[in-house]
Structure 1
Amino acid sequence: MEIREIRGKKLLNVFAFHRLVFYNPTLQTFNYLCAFILNYMIQSMTGFGKASLQLPTKKITVEVKSLNSKGLDLNVRMPSLYREMELGLRTQISTKLERGKIDFAIYIESTAEQTSTKVNVPVVKNYIAQLREVYPAADETELMKMAIRMPDTLKTEREEIDENDWDQIQVIIEEALQNILNFRKDEGESLEKEFNLRIGNIRQYMTDALALDPERVQAIKDRLQTAISELKVNVDENRFEQELIYYLEKLDITEEKVRLTNHLDYFLETIKGTEANGRKLGFITQEMGREINTMGSKSNHAQMQKLVVMMKDELEKIKEQVLNVL
């Protein structure tokens, strides 16, 4: 059981699906908020949900698939019988699934012995009469085979929407949407673990790089002194120290370290947010990349540059996964 605080109110998480319970400090009681929300974590845009319904004459299956996309790209496939419901269905889906390339489909499998498709008897008889004039020697079986291949010999009676059936279909639509949300949430948990790992690696590489800073500074100082001694000129020691300090300040990576640390902290804070933050995470990774690149250009030290490359590699892995965050 976990207690958090939101806007001055203590929040108690008591169920896996997070029913919210607010603590009333005056009455020393917990007030239940009659709503259910998704877990406080990121969600993936990749997901799949499915639900089925068996009616007396048919089996209906609803499938929802989603992939990553910059916005909401919704494709709906459904039988013409339910086409008039599509507009409301699109609103229903877009409310649940905010982003992603969504493929939604309703499939109907008839299980009835009777069918709505019937032989158009008058048309068939008319075809047979005309064919008999053309082929008087043909028997009835041959004429029937030829006639049944002609256009409009079969007719389909238009079905009307059964409101009771549609109400039941709405239930499995909600079930399929909930299934894909659960799938996205599970994928989000995996993404969060991946992000924590990668951010931790970047922190460690940055710490290792900073540990090399005294060695780097001394190496720069030694190179400058060697270069001056090779020139065989007299140099004022005080002036040399001033110029060295100025040069080292230009190569100092303390500011980049502070900003990168802030970006790493903000990234982890954002993935714990209560809303879709995929775009924001993308912007944060861009800022992280700028600081890492600046550290690399300033490092002027072989081992430190290797660590910078390793940080870049971890960041690229983060960027790839961020594209899939809702």
Structure 2
Amino acid sequence: MVVSMTGFGRSRADSERFSVNVEVKTVNHRFCEFHIRMPRQLLKTEEKIKKKLGEHIKRGRVEVFVTLEGEGIVSRSVHIDWQALDELVHHISEIKNRYGITGEIELRDLVNRDEIIHIEEKETENEELEQLVLAAIQDAGNQLVQMRLLEGTALESDVSQNIQQLKGNLSKVKQFAPDVVEQYRDRLNKKMADFLDGQADEDRILTEVAFFADKADISEEITRLESHVVQFTEIMKSNEPLGRKLDFLLQEMNREVNTIGSKANDSRIAREVVEMKSLLEKVKEQVQNIE
């Protein structure tokens, strides 16, 4: 089964006190890598989020965004430094007495000083909030999985089509391969006949042809490439993450195609090699996004 590494999911979970919004998106990556952004009071939930999403995601860069809304997110309390306040009132009275200053001490003169009175905010941590977050993660993750499966189906169709076309090109190469040596024999025979006024040296021709046949033999490369194509098709049916296996196999296939192109001294085979290299490049780009 082909699964794309690209996907997106969004969900919202509500209670009487809180609202949780979650977005999860994935892109291609060599490994499974999580990047989670959320309020500090949810940091202890991070591993549970990774575990829940990791049940479905085996490879790719996973970006998670969690935001909270609600009156109960932050608790507030007033803190007064009574000792500092006592000293301030005492010193104000001393200043008034020493310099003969009249007037009452106003409340605003005291409460507007942050070093004496301030409001402390503390982010709420409770099980209800954690359960809401995990529920939203589960729903967003399900949407993400469905999108990855849908895109995976499209990828599988495109890759299979390109591999099928490559099999056609390879079949032509296999068909042309036996003619290469015979065509070389004919060209060599003609050249030697022209050079020796029609009296070609048969032993020399046989030696040259045998040398060329050994040098230009692509039967092993064709066999290995056919085997790789079969293996590629089988891997595509696997239920395990298969992106890395396909990527490695494509490298081997590309190596065989390059060898065929360098050994086979034939214009028809060269055209098929160009087509196969182009197809392998397309498949490589597609495989880069397969989990």
TM-score, normalised to structure 1's length?
0.73
| Cα distance change, pair 103–114 in 1 and its aligned pair in 2 (3 A) | closer
Per the alignment, residue 157 of structure 1 pairs with 122
Q: Tell me which amino acid in the other structure corresponds to 1:166.
A: E
Deviations 1:169-201 (A, max 9, x none): 322221112221111111111110111111022
Select which of 274, 277, 281 maps to 1:309: 274
- The correspondence of residues 155-304 of structure 1 with structure 2, limited to 5 A, is 155-161=120-126, 163-213=127-177, 216-229=180-193, 231-232=195-196, 235-304=200-269
Measure the CA separation in 2 of the matches of 1:152 and 1:93: 45
| Whole-angstrom distance in 2 between the partners of 1:114 and 1:76 | 19
Q: Give the letter for the 2:221 counterpart.
A: E
Larger helix percent:
2
The separation in 2 between residues aligned to 1:187 and 1:325, in whole angstroms, is 9
Provide Cα deviations, 1:275-311, integer angstroms capped at 9, x if missing partner: 1111111121111112101110112123321221121
Distance 1:298 1:54, change over 3 A: same
Q: Secondary structure at the match of 1:116?
A: strand
Structure 1 residues 15-60: Cα deviation after superposition (integer angstroms, max 9, x where no partner): xxxxxxxxxxxxxxxxxxxxxxxxxx11111211221112223320
Give the superposed CA RMSD: 3.4
**Partner residue of 2:7 out of 42, 47, 53:** 47
Q: 1:243 to 1:324 in 2, by over 3 A?
A: same
- Structure 1 residues 81 and 113: alpha-carbon distance in aligned structure 2, compared to 1, 3 A threshold: closer
Within 5 Å, which residues of 2 pair with 1:33-182? 41-110=1-70, 112=71, 116-117=75-76, 147=113, 153-161=118-126, 163-182=127-146
Which residue identity lines up with residue 160 of structure 1 in the other structure?
E
What is the letter of the counterpart of residue 310 of structure 1? E
Give CA deviations for 1:45-99 in whole Å, capped at 9, x if unaligned: 1211221112223320122111112212112222222222223333333333211
The aligned counterpart of 1:26 is none
Deviations 1:112-139 (A, max 9, x none): 499634665769x95xx79x979x99xx
On the 8 A contact 2:49/2:134 being kept in 1, the answer is no
Alignment partner of 1:273: what SS?
coil
- What number of residue pairs does the alignment pair up? 278
Q: What letter is aligned with 2:285?
A: E
The aligned counterpart of 2:98 is none
Distance in 2 (CA, whole Å) between partners of 1:285 and 1:253 is 19
CA–CA distance in structure 1, aligned partners of residues 57 and 42 of structure 2 = 21
* Residues 248-277 of structure 1: per-residue CA shift (max 9 Å, x gap): 243122322222111111111101112111
Contact 2:45 2:130 in 1 (8 A): no
Share of identical aligned residues, percent?
29
Larger RCO, structures 1/2 (Cα 8 Å, 6+ apart): 2
Larger Rg: 2
Distance 1:145 1:297 in 2: 87
Question: What's the secondary structure of 1:197's corresponding residue?
Answer: helix
Q: CA deviation at 1:230?
A: 5.0
Paired residue for 1:323?
Answer: 288
TM-score, normalised to structure 2's length? 0.80
Rounded to whole Å, the distance in 2 between the matches of 1:86 and 1:199 is 41
Matched residue SS, 1:157: strand
User: How many Å apart are 1:215 and its aligned residue?
Assistant: 5.3
User: Contact 2:8/2:26 (CA < 8 Å) preserved in 1?
Assistant: yes
Q: Structure 1: any 5+ residue segments left out of the alignment?
A: 1-40
Distance 1:256 1:113, change over 3 A: closer
| Structure 2 spans left out of the alignment, 5+ residues | 96-100
Structure 1's 96 and 152: CA in aligned 2 closer, same or farther, altered over 3 A? farther
C-alpha separation between the residues in 1 aligned to 2:219 and 2:180? 13
